[in-house]
Amino acid sequence: MRHIIHSKDITRQEMEALFTDANKLEKNPMPNLLQGKILASLFFEPSTRTRFSFECAIYRLGGSIITAENAKEFSSAAKGESIEDTISTMCAYADAIVMRHYQEGAASSAAKVSTVPIINAGDGISQHPTQTLLDLYTIKREHNQIDGISIVIVGDLRNGRTVKSLLWGLSKFNDVSVTLVSPEGLRLPKEAVNEFIGAGLEIKETDDLIGTIGDTDIVYQTRIQKERFPDMAEYEKYVGCYRIDVALVSKMRKNALLLHPLPRVDEIAPEVDELPQAAYFKQVKYGVLVRMAVLKWIMS
């Protein structure tokens, strides 16, 4: 049985096999592969893309889904049930569970008691491994390779789980150079930076986006994670700090990619969507293929 909890635990070989499978599923759909299988989705935090793309993925493979899109209020968690008991219960109903939770480590606690595969769809500020798979798949498809890339990762690096997840994913590839761009207060913690350097990434840190945006293959923009700020005045300090507009994209290389896990608030101007570098809605589309490949891997 295979859980998907942390990007660190997915090998390069497994990632490449998933990308190959995602390509195959696009060309040769398998509408009956998971017939009779049930996926449970338990979301204790809001989601648009992750939940709907998993729903879409299971339906496209012939399976079914049972879902709680607001598990915090509408599952027995609201009555005080532990995540372990909720998971032990869901195991009696479903063949796999995809879950998003506001607490770091929740998916890993779930995996300890689960008799079916658990997919971590986000645990607090920690991890979001299937987002990483679709981010890397997008880079591979649109840029041809991941080895040797330069990537600028921008925004709320302290609170963004997609950032930490992606860095672990990138560490599986060779010669990746990363520039982390954030305001001082939203930097990735020092220990984490050192851990990623130890894992093989070349990392620079700066607060200067304009000076770095022109000299990179990939720009990965992220949202300031409003829901993680106990003090709204603190959040307001960072609103609009790295807005990417048409003028800024014109400094990017012609063949560079602008990625974003979405949702965006105001950190990419809507006019940018029309530019050739904008690849975030391609990420959305590829997310279904990648999640189909993930479900095929752990459910069939």
Query: Which residues contribute to the site for ligand NCD (CB under 6 A)?
Result: 49-50, 122, 128, 131, 161-162, 223, 261-263
Strand-pairing partners, residue 100, are 43
Query: Comparing C-alpha atoms, which of 114, 65, 124 is closest to residue 85?
Result: 114
Q: Is 291 a catalytic residue?
A: no
- Which of 6, 37, 100, 223 is flagged as catalytic? 100
Decide: 73 and 81 in contact? Cβ < 8 Å: no
Q: Which CB sits closer to ligand NCD, 37 or 131?
A: 131
Q: Is 130 a catalytic residue?
A: no
Query: Comparing C-alpha atoms, which of 265, 259, 53, 21 is closest to residue 163?
Result: 259
Q: Is 20 a catalytic residue?
A: no
Smallest gap from Cβ 36 to ligand NCD, in A, equals 28
Handedness of CA 32, 282, 173, 107 (dihedral sign): negative
Q: Which CB sits closer to ligand NCD, 37 or 130?
A: 130
Q: Is 222 a catalytic residue?
A: no
- Which of 37, 49, 51, 296 is flagged as catalytic? 49
Q: Which CB sits closer to ligand NCD, 162 or 212?
A: 162
Smallest gap from Cβ 224 to ligand NCD, in A, equals 9
Q: Which CB sits closer to ligand NCD, 122 or 129?
A: 122
Q: Is 50 a catalytic residue?
A: yes
Decide: 131 and 16 in contact? Cβ < 8 Å: no
Contacts with 250 (C-beta within 8 Å, 6 or more apart), sequence order: none
Instruction: State whether residue 257 is helix, strand or coil.
Output: strand
| Residues noted as catalytic | 49-50, 79, 100, 128
